[in-house]
Amino acid sequence: MALIVQKFGGTSVATTQRIKNVALRVAKWKAEGHQLVVVLSAMSGETNRLIGLAREIQADPDPRELDVMVSTGEQVTIGLLAMALRELGLKARSYTGAQVRILTDSAYTKARILSIDDQAMRADLDNDTIVIVAGFQGVDAGGNITTLGRGGSDTTGVALAAALKADECQIYTDVDGVYTTDPRIVPEARRLDTVTFEEMLEMASLGSKVLQIRSVEFAGKYKVKLRVLSSLEELGQEGPGTLITFEDDKNMEQPIISGIAFNRDEAKLTVLGVPDRPGIAYQILGAIADANIDVDMIIQNVGHDGTTDFSFTVNRSEYSKALAILEQVKAHIGARSITGDNKICKVSAVGVGMRSHPGIASRMFRALAEEGINIQMISTSEIKISVVVDEKYLELAVRTLHQAFELDQTPA
């Protein structure tokens, strides 16, 4: 008997029929003698719909109230799944985040989990009951409902697996594992049997939405055995999915590049003609940080005539806010002007094999050059190379790099 946490995403619970299918899948694992905790997302499209309603009332919705209403999507699916399991003659109980007591900080819309009370869930499991928990939500110390950021149900799943010391956390979604890149963009993309935790972390942080980055962080910190699987395959026909491994990389034969990630949610801002003197980066980025805006890539040009240009990227949703802040900072620091571009994207090649193979960057730049794709910004780490390019080249760039690194071919 194992204790397994299963998380089902929005597409997997998109209709009552799909919820009945989830119930059958859960029932199958139960019949094999396992203890089960099931985490659900809202029906696909529902969270977007709820955010849309909020925006019809307030252009910039109050974060506390937004969390109150946007968290309701998950409350619907957990109740429905509990009913579907009861229809199958099984014992099941649903819990909201607050009912479990998934305690978070008070950062509405992007709260972090602080602790999880496992008492009620343990009592249910000991009593042969399937526990169903609403993903994406928690409660702060003051009793306010919080949400964990888009895609946050993955994090609920992994955090519950960590708190319960589950044997495995299974993330069921609409693809049958982690691929070399998003199979929606590159049909030749290949499912990976395993991916190292480090690579998964990079891929998630660089935009591969198959797992929310915080869920991968949790898995790493608490050594949760994490697997990505499809909920749409027929019962009994399931493939092995993708296992996130913690093995020492050196013991494994690694491809140089494991995957291509991309992120459309990017925007670039440039401060032109900044006096080239100490403290300028701090004055610009300090003001951005004070507004709680995360900065990603940063580039400062070589100065000439005593001035320099300073560029950085932010999440596209924070573009106008960042632009407004820079307009204020401009006069203070004596910059000439501010420009911005919110039609850019970031494309990255990820692979732990890069450490031992020089020349990956030039291969990447050559492939993009051959397609006439202009690179606007570059950033590298030990296991990734990212470039910022015009959004219109996103699909071409991803396909080109997937091919350049022969990711469609099974490594020998």
Q: Under the rule (CB under 6 A), what is the footprint of ligand ADP?
A: 9-12, 41, 151, 173-175, 178-179, 181-182, 184, 208-210, 259
Amino acid found at 244 = I
Hey, how many other C-beta atoms are within 10 angstroms of the C-beta on 201? 20
Considering the complex, what minimum distance in angstroms separates the CB of residue 361 from ligand ADP? 21
Sign of the C-alpha dihedral computed for residues 5, 75, 62 and 266 taken in this order? positive
Sign of the C-alpha dihedral computed for residues 400, 401, 406 and 410 taken in this order? negative
d(CA 319, CA 264): 13
d(CA 303, CA 57): 47
Q: If we measure between CA atoms, which residue out of 390, 211, 209, 379 comes closest to residue 299?
A: 379
Interaction partner, residue 182 (Mg ion, ligand ADP, ligand ASP, none; CB < 5-8 Å by kind): ligand ADP
Question: Is residue 257 exposed (0-12), middle (13-18) or buried (19+ Cβ within 10 Å)?
Answer: buried
Considering the complex, what minimum distance in angstroms separates the CB of residue 191 from ligand ADP? 8
Interaction partner, residue 242 (ligand ASP, Mg ion, ligand ADP, none; CB < 5-8 Å by kind): none
The residue whose Cβ lies closest to ligand ADP is 9
Q: Which is nearer to ligand ASP, 69 or 299 (CB)?
A: 69
| Contact with ligand ASP (CB under 6 A) among 19, 26, 73, 179 | 73
Amino acid found at 20 = K
Interaction partner, residue 136 (ligand ADP, Mg ion, ligand ASP, none; CB < 5-8 Å by kind): ligand ASP
Considering the complex, what minimum distance in angstroms separates the CB of residue 313 from Mg ion? 23
| Largest Cα–Cα separation, the chain | 78
Q: Which is nearer to ligand ASP, 216 or 383 (CB)?
A: 216
Q: Is 374 helix (H, G, I), strand (E, B) or coil?
A: coil
d(CA 385, CA 308): 25
150 with 117: CB under 8 angstroms? no
Residue 177 binds Mg ion, judged by CB under 5 A: no
Considering the complex, what minimum distance in angstroms separates the CB of residue 162 from ligand ASP? 17
Residue 177 binds ligand ASP, judged by CB under 6 A: no
Considering the complex, what minimum distance in angstroms separates the CB of residue 184 from Mg ion? 14
Amino acid found at 288 = I
Alpha-carbon distances of 278 from 225, 284, 307, rounded to whole Å: 47, 12, 12
Q: Which is nearer to ligand ADP, 35 or 153 (CB)?
A: 153
Total residues contacting Mg ion by CB under 5 A comes to 2
Interaction partner, residue 184 (ligand ADP, Mg ion, ligand ASP, none; CB < 5-8 Å by kind): ligand ADP
What are residue 103's phi and psi, to 5 degrees? -80, 130
Considering the complex, what minimum distance in angstroms separates the CB of residue 133 from ligand ADP? 15
Q: Which is nearer to Mg ion, 35 or 181 (CB)?
A: 181
Residue 42 binds ligand ASP, judged by CB under 6 A: yes
Residue 138 binds ligand ASP, judged by CB under 6 A: no
Contact residues for Mg ion, defined by CB under 5 A: 9, 151
